[in-house]
Structure 1
Amino acid sequence: MTQQWTPRRIAVLGASGLTGSGLAHQLSLSPDFDEILLLDLKDSLLQAHAIDMREAQIVTGSTHAALQVIPMERAAEQRPVDLVVVAASLPETPDGSREAFLDANLGVFRALVPTINALAGDDALVMILTNPTDVLATCLARMSGLAPSRIFGYCLNDSVRLVAAVARELQVSPARVRALVVGEHGDGQVPVWSGIEVDGSPVHLADDQRARIDADARGWFRRWSDLRPGRSSGWTTPVGSARTITGLMSGEPMPVAAWYEDGVSEGSHTTLLAVVRDGSVVPIALDYLDDAERSALDEASAAIAEKARRTDALARSGAERN
């Protein structure tokens, strides 16, 4: 019998940032977790976040989870946790792209590998929030020595944005829409048109409707960047990350960047519906994908693997020159 995944102790790396602190706050209000370790280089801000979160726990009457601020230099002294969340990231810049974050954030990940390995121990799963989550998850598997199936990336936002785009096109409430994006987080995303439902019933969309919806969903990042907010999605991602964790805990298939070996690429972390089974994040079969969607999924997986391979090779070459 498969044992239910119950991450009672969670470590959040990058817990002073908007996304990391937001997720830590969400988790701290749940009775499902015993201890949340907060780690970041910005110690004073982290201490302030912890004070604020503990008082929020009192306001809501949700004081079960203990919040522990851990200096980064003492991370290796901690006993392994059940889930390591990596939210550490360099600041986003105006006119940037998800690809632009890759090289910079890969350097952050390289520095964090010893900490991740120590906190993950032999059994913990590792959840990546830092963009691009799928490529960085694949790179982390190469750098850390952790089994790729123990690493997964957060990708729920892509499906949320497809839901919003479908709702706008059909002029219905988003609450009535169910939609899924697989593939790559970014340009290689694959809307699963064959799985879109409204009020639980399949919906057939004409080609022009699909084109408008696709342009709407894919245009999200550019519209966001044009606002020059100087930050990532600080409410959706923390709430969505908490929702992903609790969904996986209950056995619900969730869209995450999970390890996928499709016979086309060398394997990569590709967005699919997945569950946690026997200590691994396991994709489930999407039998309803049509031929075009399955082909696009395989192409996205191969592209992620190639980006991870190329980026990792460039980083190693630069490190050797230095």
Structure 2
Amino acid sequence: MKVVIIGGAGGIGSSVAFNLLLGTATHDIVLVDTRPAMLTSHTMDLENAVALGTAPSTVRGGTPDDALDADIVVLSAAVPLRLNTSRSVFLTDNARIVGEILAPLGKSRFTGTVLVLTNPVDPLLTWVYRNEWVARERLVGYTLNDSLRLRTGIAQALRVHPLTVDAWMLGEHGEGQVPLYSRVTVDGEPATLDDEQRAAVTTYVNTWYQRHVALDSGRTSTWTTGRGAARMIDAMATESGTVFPASVVPDGEYGISEVSIGLPVVLGRTGIDHIVEWELTADEKRGMTDAAARVDSACAQLVSSTASR
């Protein structure tokens, strides 16, 4: 599969490329970035990493035109990270970047899938969908890190290894996230957290972003996002049937339409194969509805701010 990574010279973009090269699926990876020297540096380095992989993948530098015939476009371009308390502060600035990249695809014969890593991912995807630049079934947003942090928090509270924990975070990638405590398992068996344990998990998950940004390191979740996005792309290439949490625009699933939020999905070579519908508790259903309303409101504000320019 031809995978074009826009923002490929950044930490996340290059991490995605590295993890793809070490995966089992074969990809033609094209890095695109506005920083030519950094782009060449990463390309030269990654060319040598190809020999460490298990599949005959390739990597090269390219231009935005490479996206026109890509199977998957990974969008990780964004404004530089700065001190903040919510991803929402980047909405307007990152919308400009996303629009400059995806609007031309909407005017072309592009038939690939777009995997958006740029934040805040839910209102951005909703905005892209409503602009009709990319079809619903070919528009996927990365939200896996929320579920990974939930699994880490649960593992710490229960004093087990994160590999043994299966837990899911749906809803908004941010303040409107919805943890599915009703589906937590450890070693494949249902697990229940008491009030104290759940409070510890909630604190860990709800403060992770603020604690990390407060370090003022200038970097985002490079390794986790790179690894997670590569696994999603490999799942598309191999049509493995693996279920991932991802921001997608449902068509009535979970009682939600026309708004992109985190849902469990199966991915295929042409994008979203299907959305998996689970039974949720009343509180979880309410959380999903509230998350959709938050995203819809953020998208409306974005439309208003861009129209006034």
Question: Are 1:252 and 1:275, in contact at CA under 8 Å, matched by a contact in 2?
Answer: yes
* Corresponding position: 1:226 with 2:203: no
2:58 maps to which of 24, 41, 66: 66
Question: Are 1:11 and 1:38, in contact at CA under 8 Å, matched by a contact in 2?
Answer: yes
The structural deviation recorded for 1:79 is: 5.2
Could you tell me how far apart the structure 2 residues matched to 1:144 and 1:109 are? 13
Aligned ranges 1:270-285 → 2 under 5 Å: 270-276=261-267, 279-281=270-272, 282-285=274-277
Could you tell me how far apart the structure 1 residues matched to 2:54 and 2:161 are? 32
Match of 1:3 in 2: none
* TM-score, length of structure 1 as denominator length: 0.88
Aligned ranges 1:124-273 → 2 under 5 Å: 124-248=112-236, 249-262=239-252, 267-273=258-264
Match of 1:299 in 2: 290
Q: Give every structure 1 segment of 4 or more consecutive aligned residues whose post-TM-superposition deviation is greater than 6 Å.
A: none
The structural deviation recorded for 1:63 is: 6.6
SS of residue in 1 equivalent to 2:249: strand
SS of residue in 2 equivalent to 1:240: helix
Q: Which runs of 5+ in 1 are unaligned?
A: 1-7
> Which deviations, in whole Å up to 9, do the C-alpha atoms of 1:262-301 show, x marking residues without a partner?
48665211111101368342311112x1111011112111
* Corresponding position: 1:46 with 2:36: no
Question: Are 2:250 and 2:257, in contact at CA under 8 Å, matched by a contact in 1?
Answer: no
1:90 maps to which of 79, 94, 99: 79
SS of residue in 2 equivalent to 1:126: strand
Question: Are 1:12 and 1:36, in contact at CA under 8 Å, matched by a contact in 2?
Answer: yes
Question: Are 1:43 and 1:71, in contact at CA under 8 Å, matched by a contact in 2?
Answer: no
The structural deviation recorded for 1:138 is: 1.2
In structure 2, relative to structure 1, the CA distance for the partners of 1:278 and 1:242 (3 Å cut) is: closer
* TM-score, length of structure 2 as denominator length: 0.92
> Which deviations, in whole Å up to 9, do the C-alpha atoms of 1:41-65 show, x marking residues without a partner?
111111111110001112x155712
Match of 1:109 in 2: 98
Could you tell me how far apart the structure 2 residues matched to 1:115 and 1:55 are? 33
Match of 1:100 in 2: 89
Question: Are 1:273 and 1:284, in contact at CA under 8 Å, matched by a contact in 2?
Answer: yes
Counterpart residue identity of residue 264, structure 2: L
Match of 1:5 in 2: none
> Which deviations, in whole Å up to 9, do the C-alpha atoms of 1:139-179 show, x marking residues without a partner?
12123532122101001100000011111111111121111
Counterpart residue identity of residue 166, structure 2: R
Could you tell me how far apart the structure 1 residues matched to 2:155 and 2:89 are? 31
Match of 1:56 in 2: 49
Match of 2:308 in 1: 317
Query: How high is the sequence identity, in percent, across the aligned residues?
Result: 30
Query: In terms of mean alpha carbon deviation, does 293-302 or 186-195 score higher?
Result: 293-302
The structural deviation recorded for 1:192 is: 0.1
In structure 2, relative to structure 1, the CA distance for the partners of 1:190 and 1:79 (3 Å cut) is: closer
Counterpart residue identity of residue 82, structure 1: D
Aligned ranges 1:75-86 → 2 under 5 Å: 75=65, 80-86=69-75
Could you tell me how far apart the structure 2 residues matched to 1:129 and 1:186 are? 14
Query: In terms of mean alpha carbon deviation, does 249-258 or 270-279 score higher?
Result: 270-279
The structural deviation recorded for 1:34 is: 3.3
